[in-house]
Amino acid sequence: MSDMKRKDYEAALEPLQRELLDAQRWLMEEGKRLVVIFEGRDAAGKGGVIKAITQVLNTRGFRIVALSKPSEAEQGQWYFQRYISHLPSAGEIVLFDRSWYNRAGVEQVMGFCSDAQYRQFLQQCPVFEKLLTDSGTLLLKYWLTVDQALQEERFAERAADPFKRWKISPIDIAAREKYAEYGKARDAMIAATHTANAPWFLADFNDQRRGRLNLIRHLLDWLPDHQEPEKPLKLPKLKGKPGRENVADEGRWIKARW
């Protein structure tokens, strides 16, 4: 199957984004809390789908959380502690670009945690997530898949593009040789943490445009009845003549170059 053309993608994305706006209004009106976790292969397209989801949303109603490696103080905390402060308030969406599942993925595969810490995580994680969902938080978890050959193509593209080069970390480079190990870690993670209240779903991102559309459609279908249509807005007629921008100190204007 050939990659989806941009014009077809954009035509399919627009109605989904309108529905995302309806869903966000519903969450805000009802005071619901939504957590969406994005995990998956390096270069699968987590950032791209998060951008597609949030592109038209009310910025006051969502946050993107992409944490760096834990500080020395955080390393001495209970593992889940650093994530708790990032959880949503009523009416808010939080999208995790990587999450507490780092322990079951990169930390376990790359040897950044002990086997005991890894085993403890697999035991505690379903309990932690049950506490979240029992409190009313909606929790949805996606793993984005990509074949290794395509992953390598995307790494090469990022390496050649100065606007994307920052996306490649030393850990990403080292992890390239552990494609199979990451697959085994994923399977063990899902087996231990896939529950009715906090399910995992796999999304095929070999074609990123199709992957985004399918994931967003799934997210919208998974939410409870979330229709909150936008109320019509009619602006009252402006009184008087429209004003012009008037700044006394002309020296404060930036120089116009276009």
Instruction: Give the residue-averaged pLDDT of 85-108.
Output: 98
Q: Is the sign of the CA dihedral 67, 103, 169, 37 positive or negative?
A: negative
DSSP assignments along 123-177, one per residue: HHHHHHHHHHHHTTEEEEEEEEE--HHHHHHHHHHHHH-TTTGGG--HHHHHHGG
pLDDT of residue 237: 86
Rounded (10°) CA dihedral 26, 35, 147, 51: 60
Residue closest to 184 by CA, chosen among 107, 109, 98, 120: 109
Q: How far is CA 3 from the centre of its chain?
A: 22
What pTM was computed for the model? 0.91
What are the chain's domains?
6-252 (3.40.50.300)
Distances (CA, A) of 20 to 6, 145, 236: 20, 23, 28
251 pLDDT tier (thresholds 50, 70, 90): confident
Q: Which residues pair with 204 in a beta bridge?
A: 145
Contact of 129 with 194, CB cutoff 8 Å: no
Q: What angle do CA 222, 55, 33 make, to 5 degrees?
A: 40
pLDDT of residue 180: 96
Residue closest to 82 by CA, chosen among 92, 96, 91, 93: 96
Q: What angle do CA 177, 45, 67 make, to 5 degrees?
A: 85
244 pLDDT tier (thresholds 50, 70, 90): confident
Reduce the DSSP state of residue 202 to 3 states and report it: strand
- Over residues 168-220, the pLDDT tens digits come to 988 889 889 999 999 999 999 999 999 999 999 999 999 999 999 999 999 99
**Could you tell me if residue 186 is left (phi over 0), alpha (psi between -120 and 50 degrees) or otherwise beta?**
alpha
- What are the tokens at 8? 């077809």
